[in-house]
C-alpha cells in the first residue's frame, strides 16, 4: 500500500532544506486535513497558527530550545487549545451545525444544552487535559497528510508555551500553545533520514481479543 510506504518514508526531520518551501496548494491541503480531524462532539476547540514569517520564527527560536527546525522549516504550525470552554463556543457550533444539517431550531437548542451539561460535569483539571488532548488529534492528521504528500515534518514539544503565548498574543484570545510542528523538505545533510525506524514489534504492541 502506498499509504504504508509513505508512513515508512516519514521521520521526525532534524534538518530542513531552507531553499524549499511548501507551496500554497500543498499548504491548503494540509489545512484541509487538519480541518477534517475528528474532535469530541465535533466542537474543534482549538486553533492552529501557521507561521511562515522568518523574523517571527527567529524570535520564537530561543524559546524552542534553540532548535534549528524552527527557523529552517518552511512553515511552523502552532496548535493552540482553548483555555476554557465558553457557552458561546458551543452556541457557535450549534448554529453552524444546524445550518449545514438544516436542523429544527428546538432540536438544535436541545443539543446545545446537552453539550453544555456534559462539559460542565468535568473538573477544571479534566477540562484542561481534555482541551489539550484535542490538539494532538489534529497534529496526528497533519503528520499523516504530510507523509502522504511527501512533505517532511517534525512534531515538537520542546518549547516554552508561556513565551509563545506572550509573543503571539494568545492569552488575550483565550488560547494556549500546546504542541508545535515544523514542515518543509528534508536536507540532504540530515543524517536522521537514513536511520532505521525503531518500533515495538506488532506482537508486543497489539493484543487481539
Kindly list the domain boundaries of the chain, sorted by start residue: 2-85+125-205
**Is there a contact between 34 and 141 (Cβ–Cβ < 8 Å)?**
yes
Query: In CATH, what number does 2-85+125-205 get?
Result: 3.40.109.10
Is 93 in a helix, a strand, or coil? helix
Query: What does pTM read for this prediction?
Result: 0.97
pLDDT number for residue 105: 85
DSSP 16: B
Is 8 in a helix, a strand, or coil? helix
pLDDT number for residue 142: 98
What are the residue ranges in the chain where pLDDT is below 50?
none
Sorted by sequence, the CB contacts under 8 Å of residue 128 that are 6+ apart come out as none
* Interval 85-115: pLDDT, tens: 999 999 999 999 999 999 988 898 999 999 9
Q: How far is CA 126 from CA 87, 132, 136, 137, in A?
A: 17, 10, 16, 17
Question: What sign does the CA torsion over 121, 123, 128, 129 have?
Answer: negative
* Interval 124-135: pLDDT, tens: 999 999 999 999
Name 156's bridge partners.
180
pLDDT number for residue 193: 97
Amino acid at each position: 500500500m502506498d499509504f504504508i510506504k509513505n508512513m515508512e518514508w516519514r521521520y521526525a526531520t532534524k534538518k530542513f532544506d531552507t531553499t524549499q518551501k511548501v507551496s500554497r496548494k500543498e499548504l491548503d491541503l494540509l489545512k484541509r486535513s487538519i480541518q477534517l480531524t475528528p474532535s469530541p462532539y465535533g466542537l474543534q476547540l482549538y486553533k492552529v497558527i501557521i507561521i511562515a514569517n522568518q523574523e517571527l520564527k527567529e524570535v520564537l527560536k530561543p524559546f524552542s530550545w534553540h532548535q534549528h527546525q524552527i527557523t529552517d522549516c518552511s512553515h511552523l504550525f502552532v496548535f493552540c487549545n482553548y483555555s476554557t470552554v465558553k457557552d458561546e463556543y458551543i452556541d457557535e457550533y450549534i448554529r453552524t451545525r444546524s445550518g449545514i444539517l438544516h436542523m429544527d431550531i428546538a432540536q438544535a437548542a436541545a443539543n446545545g444544552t446537552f453539550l453544555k451539561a456534559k462539559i460542565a460535569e468535568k473538573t477544571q483539571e479534566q477540562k484542561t487535559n481534555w482541551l489539550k488532548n484535542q490538539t494532538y488529534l489534529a497534529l496526528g492528521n497533519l503528520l499523516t497528510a504530510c507523509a502522504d504528500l511527501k512533505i517532511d515534518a517534525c512534531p515538537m514539544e520542546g518549547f516554552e508555551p508561556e513565551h509563545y503565548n506572550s509573543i503571539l498574543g494568545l492569552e488575550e484570545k483565550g488560547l494556549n500553545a500546546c504542541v508545535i510542528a515544523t514542515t518543509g523538505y528534508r536536507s540532504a545533510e540530515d543524517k536522521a533520514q537514513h536511520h532505521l525506524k525503531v518500533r515495538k514489534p506488532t506482537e508486543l504492541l497489539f493484543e487481539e481479543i
